Amino acid sequence: MASATGLIDYVAESPSPYHCVEATLQRLEATGFDELDERSDWGVLAVGTKAFVRRSGTVLAFVVGQDAPARAGFRMVGAHTDSPNLRLKPAAEYESEGYRQCGVEVYGGILPYTWFDRDLGLSGRVTVRTDAGLESRLVRIDRPLARVTSLAIHLNRKVRTDGFKPNSQKELPPILGLHGEGPGALERLVTGALDIEFEQVLAWDLMLHDLQAPCLGGLDEEFVFAPRMDNQYSCYLALEALLAAEVGEATAVVALYDHEEVGSSSATGAAGALLENTLRRIEAGHETKAPGGFERAVASSFQISADMAHGVHPNYADRHDGNHKPRVNGGPVVKLNTQQRYATDGETAARFKNACHELEVPVQEFINRTDLACGSTIGPISSARLGIRTVDIGCAQLSMHSIRELAGAGDVSPTTQVFARLLGS
């Protein structure tokens, strides 16, 4: 069953999107889900089949429903595995003033100041040459080897009056050490961790992560203090809901995508073809046939796009609209934006709220202040691409896109129950 401590374990295992997919697969495989290779023939998909497809930082998992998708449709929950962070450039390492440093690129909308003076480890994926061809391997180095170091106040007194606006090229590259053994320190680190030869490393997708462990926090442990709550929190809830859902009439699908924080347009993102291709194959492979096929299935489908919501912050309460101030631990938040930055409309909101009412789960609503621009998420993208009716929801959190965020321990279980109800309906 979903719990705040289960969430903490999941996030601790997931410093990169690739690790988040791996943490998800381990839980799926432990409960009887089998991997399907995208390149293989899937044959007939019997009722109750539990399977998943993975591609890099994205995983789609499903439980085949009792009726043909053309009649019963799909019940889906979508979320994203990626979070804003700092990523290593390809030829990252350089020397400056006697220090070894590495060049970094900003991935997504980080809150830059939160990355300063944290102890940072390294994780991600390295593609290596082997006798059997090219292989991608996960790598994770959990020791404090990098630090984006701030400038002393004595050398930067104006920061107190002018604010802190770091230049990302000049001020974000972390310090890795002193001269050391010269160039190649990062490669040596990676080859040591993977037990391979220096020459085998061809390319990498590596990123930095905060080493402070996620934990419960607050007077009554009512909070989760952790990195990547946006959006591994929702990934965990979606996964646990799929594991808990009954096999319903409709086929249940959980889609956890990479690349939401940079717009979703990629081979693994929500704007790509992966979901549509997978749904088409499930529809075509279902043991029960019904005329009308995929297009008919889309018309009967319903999707929850789960991404975190902005809880009201006591020090900045004026940033919220008067009657739309979601609280942490106040239950899931239905997010609405008439400019379609969120895919919710009155009908999809009602369907979600109805499920909350049936389960006696409190439900909240969010709409931006009219004079503030609204963020967006995978909901409008996948709903526009496929034409599936969608509600955008999320649990309330603070410090979104900080290196360490604050979410509610009390929202985990009730929100998962609502997801499971809708997945099994």
- Residue 231 or 364: which CB sits closer to Zn ion? 231
Q: Rounded to the nearest whole angstrom, what is the least distance from the CB of residue 307 to Zn ion in the complex?
A: 4
Residue 140, CA atoms < 13 Å, CB-side half-sphere: 15
For the residues of 389-416, what is the DSSP string, one character each?
A: EEEEEE-EEESTTSSSEEEEGGGHHHHH
Q: Rounded to the nearest whole angstrom, what is the least distance from the CB of residue 46 to Zn ion in the complex?
A: 35
Report d(CA 296, CA 156) in Å as an integer: 63
Q: Rounded to the nearest whole angstrom, what is the least distance from the CB of residue 336 to Zn ion in the complex?
A: 17
- Residue 32 or 109: which CB sits closer to Zn ion? 109
CA dist list (Å): 311 to 35, 173, 324, 361: 37, 32, 9, 17
Residue 1 identity (one-letter amino acid):
M
Nearest-5° Cα angle at 195, 16 to 17 = 10
- Residue 72 or 343: which CB sits closer to Zn ion? 343
Nearest of 65, 54, 49, 53 to residue 297 by alpha carbon: 65
Q: Rounded to the nearest whole angstrom, what is the least distance from the CB of residue 282 to Zn ion in the complex?
A: 26
> Under rule CB under 5 A, which residues in 217-276 are in contact with Zn ion?
230-231
Total binding residues toward Zn ion, as defined by CB under 5 A: 3
- Residue 78 or 174: which CB sits closer to Zn ion? 78
Q: Rounded to the nearest whole angstrom, what is the least distance from the CB of residue 108 to Zn ion in the complex?
A: 9
**x/- track of binding to Zn ion for residues 298-327 (CB under 5 A):** ---------x--------------------
CB 247 within 8 A of CB 72: no
- Residue 47 or 111: which CB sits closer to Zn ion? 111
CB 263 within 8 A of CB 313: no
Residue 346, CA atoms < 13 Å, CB-side half-sphere: 0
- Residue 307 or 392: which CB sits closer to Zn ion? 307
Contacts of residue 18, Cβ cutoff 8 Å, sequence gap at least 6: 56, 57, 124, 125, 138, 205
Q: Rounded to the nearest whole angstrom, what is the least distance from the CB of residue 187 to Zn ion in the complex?
A: 33
- Site residues for Zn ion per CB under 5 A: 230-231, 307
